[in-house]
A and B are shown apart, each in its own frame.
Chain A
Amino acid sequence: MQRAGLATLALGAGSALSACSDTTVPGGQDPHLAPGGLPLARPDNPVQLPIYPDNPRIPSGLEPESGPLQLYNWAEYVNEAVLKSFEKRYGVEVQLSTFSTLDEAVAKLAAGAVGYDVFVPTQPEISLLVAGKLIQPLNLNYVPNLRKNVWKMLQSPWYDVGSRYTVPYTVFSTGIAWRNDFLPDYDPSKYDNPYDSFWQMEDISGKVAMLDDQREGLAFGLLRNGITDVNTGKSDQVDGSKKSIQELIDLVNLRFYTNDYQHIADGSIWLHQAWGGDMTAIGYYLPKGTPVTSVSYWWPPDGRGLMGNDTMAILKGAPHPVLAHLFLDHMLDVETAFLNMEFTGYQQPLVEMTPKAVVEAELVPENLTSAIVREEQFSKGFLQGPLSAEGMGIWETAWSEVKAT
C-alpha cells in the first residue's frame, strides 16, 4: 500500500515536472511584428493602426462632460498653469496623476486601472497600447488644432497614419551636452564622428555620463559604430553597440543618469548624452554665479541625429472622452504650448514654435537653440520607433548586460 502510494506520488511528481515549461520568450505572437501582433511601423513603412469594433471612436457633436478630467502623465511633464487655463476655459476641474516609468503606467493600465482620461505615452509604445485596447481611437473633429498648428508631417505620422489614436505632445533631440567652462577645448563637431568623442575622454574619467535609458543609450552606441538605424532588430548591431558602451564604461568610468540637467548643472558631470528639452531649462538648475553660457549642447545641424517624441492619447473607457478630446486640442494651442514650455522646457511640434520664437519668448537661451528641433530637421532625423517583440528582447538583454558590466 505504502509502495503503491509512493509510486503514485512519483508518477504525479513526474507528470507535474513534465508539465513545467522552460522558456523566457513571450508567447503567442510573431516575433517579427510589433508587440500585440501589429505591423512594425517605419518611415518607409507607415502603419495605419486598426480600429476594433469593440473599441470605436466617439461620435461628433457631443457636449463635454462636467469632469473632473483625469490626466495620467509623466511626473513634472506639464505646466500646472496649462491645466488651470483649461479649467478656466471649460469650467471643469483637472486632476493630475503621475508615473515615473512607462512600464509602471502600462502595467497599471493593463491591470485594469480605470478612471483616467488622457494618457501621455512615448511614441514607440503606441502599437502595444492599441493592440492591448488600452487607448481609444480619436475623433479629430474635436481636435482642430492638429490641422491648424502642428507640423504637417506629424498631422499624419508614419507610426500612426491619419492620427487615429494619438496626437503629438513633444518632440526632442538627444545630443551631447557639456560644460564648456571645464572643457574649453571640447567640441563634438570637431570630430569626424562626434559620438566617438566620448571614447577619447579618458582624461576626465568619472565625469562622463550617458542617459540611463535603454533606447537612448544603445542608440548612442549604434551611432558611434556608424549605424543610423536606431530601431534595428539585428542582434549583431545591438551587440556591437553594447560592446562599445561596455568599453566606454571601463575607459571613462561611465555614469548613467536620467537627470542630466542636474548633473550638468552641479558640475558633477562635464560631458553627458542629453535630452535637448532638459538643456533648454538648464538655467533653472545652475548654481548662482554660473552663467547659462557655460553649458553647450550639440545635435547635428543637418538633423541627422537621434530624436524622440511623446504623444497624447485617450484611454479606452475614459469617463470623460469629449472633455479629453478638448484637452488634447487645448494642448495643441499655440499659446498653451508656449506656456507649457515655460515649465517643461520641452517644445511641441507646432509651426509657430521656431527657435527664433522660443528665444524671443525667453524660453530658451540663445546659446542653446541647437536643442530646438525644426520641422525640416525632424524629417531627416533618426526617430525612435517601435521594436519587434524579438528586437525588444535583443535590446533589453543588451542593456541589462551593459548595466551589469
Chain B
Amino acid sequence: MTRHEGSIWRSLSIPGVVWLFLFVVVPAYAVVAVAMGQIDSLLQPVPQWNPINWNVGFVKEAFTSVVPGGTYWPATRNTIVFVAVTVFLCFAIGYPVAYYVARKAGRWKGLLLLLIFLPFWVSYLMRMLAWIGLLAPDGYVNVVLGWIGFGHTEWLSGNPYSVIAALTYGYIPYFILPVYAGLDRIDQRLLEASRDLGASPIRSFFRVTLPLSWPSILAGSVLIVLPMFGDYYTNDLISGSPHTNMLGNSVNLLVQGGSQKNLGAAMVLVLMTILAIGMLYYLWETKRQQEKLSS
C-alpha cells in the first residue's frame, strides 16, 4: 500500500471520529461538567467546563453513597445482583436457542430468526406494559398457573423475581443475536476435526464450540449489561417498590429532584466507572482470544 492510499483509508474514518466526538465525547464531558459544577440560587445546575474550577463535592458524595453503608448501596447491590442473574438467565435460555438456530434449525432457520427479531418491532416500553397485563392478579400468567395446579401469585407486588423476569424477557433478544452470529461463523471443519480425533459430541461442544463462541457470549453480555445498568423503567413499571430500586432509578429520581441534578450527574459517573471496568475486561479478553486464535 502506498503512503497516498494509506491516507485515503485513514480519511474514511473522519466521519466516524467526528460523530463519536460530537455524540459521545461532548455529552460525556457535559455530564462531567454538571457533576463537577455548582447549583445556582434558582436550584438549577451550573456546569463547570473548566477543570481548574471543578467542584468535587457531588462526585465524592456519589461515590461514597454507593458503597456498603451508603445511601444508594441497596440500589447498587440490587443492580449488580439483578444484572448478574439476568445475564445468567439470558445465557441459560438464549445460548441453546442461538445454538439450535445456528446448527439444527435447517430450513426453519429463517423463520426462527424472524421470530427472534420480532420483539424489536415492538417498543421495549410497550412490551413491559404488556407484561403488566399478563402478570396482573387476574392476568393470563396466573390463569395458566392455576390450570396446572399452582396457587395465585402476586407477581406485581414489588418482588425482585418479577423484575428479573421482565429484564430477562426484555433483553434476551439482544443476547441471542450476537451469540447466534458467533456460532454460525464457527468453521465446521474444526468440529469435524474434533470428531475425527475421537471426541464425543459433548466433548467437542465443550472443547471447540463453547470456547470459540466465548467472544460472542461476551459481546452479547456487554450488549445487555450496558443498557441494563441504566434501566429504571422496567423496575418502575413492574415493581414500583423501593426494595427493588436499581441505580438507574436513583439517577432518575435525582435528575428530576430539584437541586439534586448535579448529584444525579455524579451518579452517572459512578455508573460509567463501573461499566468502564467491565468494558476493559471485555477488551482485554477479546484481545486475548484473538491472540490465542492467531497463535
Hey, which bits of chain A sit against chain B, CB under 8 A? 16, 19-29, 35-37, 101, 103-104, 106-107, 110, 128, 131-132, 205-207, 209, 212, 214, 249, 253-257, 266-268, 389, 392-393, 396, 399-405
Contacts and interface: CB of A to CB of B under 8 A. Distances in A.
The bracket for how many chain B residues form the interface is 35 or more
Contact of A401 (B39, B71, B259): B71
Contacts of A253: 157-158, 241, 243
A35 B43 CA distance: 7
A24 B58 contact: yes
A128 B61 CA distance: 26
Nearest to B260: A396
A117 B79 CA distance: 43
Interface in B34-66: 38-44, 51-58, 60-61
Contacts of A404: 71-72, 74-75, 242, 245, 250
Given A20-B53, A21-B55, A23-B55, A214 B257 contact: yes
Interface string B11-40: 000000000000000000000000000111
B154 interface: yes
Nearest to B51: A16
B240 interface: yes
B43 A26 contact: yes
Contacts of B261: 103, 107
Given A27-B40, A128-B42, A22 B60 contact: yes
A107 B137 CA distance: 40
A50 to B, nearest CB: 15
Contacts of A104: 256
A403 B250 contact: yes
A393 B241 contact: no
Contacts of B183: none
A396 B259 contact: yes
A318 B40 CA distance: 24
B260 A400 contact: yes
Nearest to B255: A103
B32 to A, nearest CB: 13
A114 to B, nearest CB: 17
Nearest to A27: B38
A149 B192 CA distance: 88
B212 interface: no
A20 B35 CA distance: 13
Contacts of B257: 103, 214, 396, 399-400
B208 interface: no
Q: Rank and list the top 3 A-B pairs by shortest CB-CB distance, nearest first.
A: A206-B157, A26-B39, A29-B41
Contacts of B159: 206
A212 B252 CA distance: 13
Specify which of A16, A22, A104, A128 lies most central, judged by the most chain B CB atoms within 10 Å of its CB: A22
A246 to B, nearest CB: 9
Contact of A268 (B58, B72, B156, B263): B156
Specify which of B156, B159, B239, B257 lies most central, judged by the most chain A CB atoms within 10 Å of its CB: B257
B60 to A, nearest CB: 7
Contacts of B263: 24
Contacts of A403: 242, 245, 249-250, 253
B240 A255 contact: yes
B137 A110 contact: no
A186 B52 CA distance: 61
Interface string B251-282: 00110111111110000000000000000000
B72 to A, nearest CB: 5
20 contacts: A16-B52, A20-B53, A21-B56, A22-B60, A23-B38, A27-B38, A29-B41, A35-B42, A103-B261, A107-B261, A128-B42, A249-B243, A255-B158, A256-B240, A392-B259, A400-B257, A403-B245, A403-B253, A404-B242, A404-B245
A400 B257 CA distance: 9
A256 B138 CA distance: 21
Contact of B250 (A110, A256, A400): A400
Contacts of A27: 38-41
A69 B211 CA distance: 65
B136 interface: yes
A127 B51 CA distance: 33
B149 to A, nearest CB: 23
Contact of B41 (A20, A28, A101): A28
B243 A103 contact: no
Given A24-B262, A255-B158, A399-B257, 7 more contacts: A20-B53, A23-B57, A28-B40, A206-B157, A249-B241, A256-B241, A389-B43
A209 B240 CA distance: 9
B295 to A, nearest CB: 40
Contact of B242 (A22, A36, A249, A257): A249
A328 B222 CA distance: 53
B64 to A, nearest CB: 12
B41 A206 contact: no
Nearest to B70: A404
Contacts of A19: 52-53
A392 B242 CA distance: 22
Contact of A389 (B41, B56, B60): B41
A266 B40 CA distance: 43
A22 B42 contact: no
